[in-house]
Structure 1
Amino acid sequence: MSDEKKVSNVDWQVHPPYLHEPYKSTVKRSPQQPLIATPQTMSELTGPVYGYDAVTDLDADLTRNSVINAAPLGERIIVTGRVLDDWNRPVPNALIEIWQANASGRYLHKVDDHDAPLDPNFSGAGRVLTDRDGYYQFTSIKPGAYPWLNHHNAWRPAHIHFSVFGGNIMSRLVTQMYFPGDPLLKLDPIYNGVPDEKGRERLIAIYDHDVTQPVWALGYRFDIVVSGARLTPFE
């Protein structure tokens, strides 16, 4: 028998259902037929996800990677953590991509028509590779809340989108990171689409004073599990 541990089953009670009626767009886009499993071939399980040389240090600093003529506006933050597997082992060379709204709560996207200012020095996008111990770190601007049309007076809490690729193209996890103490969390159907309270808590970053840099930026810690029963709840 192989010494490799078997992958733990995912606890689907922790993850949001495909259809969650308070989140109205899931009514139209959720699957209406039984799901079909797609076999994973050896090339998919072992093939590279991307070129390692394509990711630079500047990509991880959203306060610098899109600057035109000045520093971006808003509260600077540092977000760090580890990418782990189900047995708490680090996942090295995982590609993490993030995207977010600016400090005013607006995305740099042509379909975002929120009446809030764009920041010409902030794109809201970054990426990084985890190190040999699974650690990553981003420097960014804390995103603002923004209105959406899901229900009356609906506002999304401040959040950062995460896309995490493990060692192969089939291991992608997409999730959202929230901030502690946000009063909008209890009103948000996306956050509350995660049925398990402990699962929801795992989506909230932890303020870390040791990560905070004096006179520069507040620090937050957000660990991500990419497999098994402890899989971080997905978006």
Structure 2
Amino acid sequence: MGTLRGDLAGYGEKRALGQLIHIRARVVDEDGAPVPGAVVEAWHCNASGRYKHPNDTDHAPLDPNFYGAARLVAGDSGLVELRTIKPGAYPVPDTAGWWRPPHVHFSVWGRVWLSRLVTQMFFPGEPLNEADVILNAIRDPQARNRCIATLTPTAKGPQHALLYDYQIVVRGRGATPKLP
């Protein structure tokens, strides 16, 4: 089984609004060995900060060309790839000015189906990361940094997109922190 890809950035010729990005997420165990066959779900809001979900009643516009979610199976190297757009920030309802920074949710089932990791990937250099209640609930700075992707320099990236690498350690030493 090779690398599997998901496309959240559009349908056919039509592309979602926003900065095109590629995410390479690698699922590994605590020893750094790949977890082939891991089921990875990813979802995030559109560039305006609105989820494609009936419970999101924010007034930000929906993007008809943005799918919003993908389910993939990791290849032999533990890798899944997403083509998507960078999510927007959004205000958290019923809070005093708390805005969520751009982030992507991941749900990962590894070798054991009873063991599910739900976490969030954040983008480096985002000013809202410093004030995010969820990200900063992780007190250990090293653990918190494991939730932040790496922007990988490329000449232009695939289709002129930004490329982010993210490692998901399903459990054990150096595990990726669990986040809602």
Which of 123, 133, 145 aligns to 1:179? It is 123
* Residue 60 (1) aligns with residue 39 (2): no
Tell me if the contact between 2:143 and 2:174 (Cα under 8 Å) persists in the aligned partners. no
Aligned to 2:34: 90
Of 108, 127, 136, 2:52 maps to 108
CA distance in 2, matches of 1:93, 1:203: 22
2:174 is equivalent to residue 230 of structure 1 = yes
- Normalising by structure 2, report the TM-score: 0.91
Q: Which amino acid in the other structure matches residue 21 of structure 2?
A: I
More strand by share: 2
Deviation at 1:77, TM superposition (A): 0.3
1:149 to partner: Cα distance? 2.9
Matches within 5 A, 1:62-211: 62-64=8-10, 67=11, 70-149=14-93, 151-210=95-154
Task: Indicate the residue corresponding to 1:48 in structure 2.
Answer: none
Could you tell me which runs of 5 or more consecutive residues in structure 2 were left unpaired when the two chains were aligned: none
In 2, distance between residues paired with 1:85 and 1:146? Answer: 33
Identity value in percent: 45
Q: Match for 1:129: what amino acid?
A: V
**Per-residue deviation, 1:85:** 0.5
For residues 77 and 169 of structure 2, the distance between their equivalents in structure 1, rounded to whole angstroms, comes to 14
Kindly state the Cα deviation for residue 177 of structure 1 after the two structures are TM-superposed. Answer: 0.2
**1:229 Cα offset (Å):** 2.0
* Structure number with larger C-alpha Rg: 1
Q: Is the 8 A contact 1:98 1:125 kept in 2?
A: yes
Q: Which consecutive aligned stretches of 4+ in structure 1 deviate over 3 angstroms post-superposition?
A: none
Contact 1:211 1:220 in 2 (8 A): no
Contact 1:161 1:176 in 2 (8 A): yes
Q: Output the amino acid matched with 2:23.
A: V
Q: Report the secondary structure of 1:224's partner residue.
A: strand
Q: State the shift of 1:216 in Å.
A: 2.2
> What are the superposed Cα offsets for residues 52-74 of structure 1, whole Å, 9 maximum, x if unpaired?
9xxxx6x711123xx27721111
The structure-2 alpha-carbon separation of the partners of 1:115 and 1:195, relative to structure 1 and needing over 3 Å to count, comes to same
Q: Residue 15 of structure 2 aligns to a residue in which SS?
A: coil
Deviation at 1:211, TM superposition (A): 8.8
Q: How many residues align?
A: 177
Unaligned runs of 5+ in 1: 1-51
Separation of aligned partners in 2, 1:150 and 1:157: 17
State how far apart, in whole Å, the 2-side matches of 1:213 and 1:87 are: 30
> CA contact under 8 A between 1:81 and 1:135: conserved in structure 2?
yes
